[in-house]
Structures are given as structure tokens and as C-alpha cells.
Structure 1
Amino acid sequence: MNRLRILHLEDDPMDAELIQLILAKDGLVCETLVVNSASEYLAALDVNSFDLILSDSSVPEFTGHAAFEIAKKSVLIYLLSWFLQIQIQKKPLLT
């Protein structure tokens, strides 16, 4: 089975880990690169190809919207913000 290559822009290590746990629980086979700044994000896009980008709505000096604008022509991107709060409050969405 091919691994889903994910770039995850997230500045909170606990949120990044939670997303990894959710993906693993759902049985997705993923190879995820977590970056936490604009410079790391841009460098990752320059040297790698991804199937999916997950982005926090904002990290220091960078926004999810900016991440979307940079990558929108080449890859599917999801902005994450309230998702984690909803996930914690309502029980896991993926079972």
C-alpha cells in the first residue's frame, strides 16, 4: 500500500501528535512531515512532493491562508483550527 505523504504546518507539538494519532486510529498509512514555521514550510515544498497539506490556521509570522495560497495549485490543503477543539469536545470523529 502506498503511503499518503502529508505536510503538516503546526506550531503546537501536542496538536501535531493528536492529528497523527487520529490518522493512525483511522488506519491511514501516512508519512508525515511536521513543520512549525514559514521557512520550514517553504523549504519542505521546495524539496518534497506531498499528497496533502494540513495547516493550523496560524503559526508565528505565517497564516494558514498564506500556506494555502502558496500550495493551492499543486496539492490538496486543509486548514485546521476549530477541528481539534471540536474533536476533543465531541469525542473522536474517526472511530
Structure 2
Amino acid sequence: MFSRRTSWDISATPLAEAVARRTAEGRPLLDLTEANPTRVGLGFSPAALREALADPRAARYEPNPLGLAGAREAIARYYAERGHAVVPERVVV
């Protein structure tokens, strides 16, 4: 809730209303605005998650504005396998 001093219009937007309507109807919805991966139905293996979190590298936070180097390398390999010359340094994730 916002402060009453702002007097902003906080009514639902047409998009928010459409999302609520579709959700209430039980219709499928691909919500690209959801930022919480636990609420989008992604399956995961609890054992694999425990294993990943046990790796000491998981405790380091080293953000890269272009995305993880490993992910960019995998994307470059994917395209290379399909005949496209893509270098990881030019991939943004």
C-alpha cells in the first residue's frame, strides 16, 4: 500500500485485469513478468539443487553484465553446431 500523501492511481491496469481474468478462468498463461522462479512451474530435482548449493562456487557472487561466461559459451557452441560463427564475447544473456 502506498502512502495516502501520494494520491497515485493504484487501480489495476488493463493488463493486470486481463491476467487476473485469465488466471481465474484457469486458462494457461505465460507471464514473462514473473521474477520468482518458484512460481512459474519449473521442475527441479531437490537432490541436484542440494548438490549445486554444496559447491563452494555457489557462495560467490560475481555478476557479469553480459551474463555468465559459461552460458554465453554454451550459446555460442549451439550456434556453431548449426553453422553460425558466434563468439561468446558477443553474446548477451
Regarding TM over 0.5, the answer is no
TM value normalised by structure 2? 0.22
Q: Which has the higher contact order (CA 8 A, sep 6+)?
A: 1
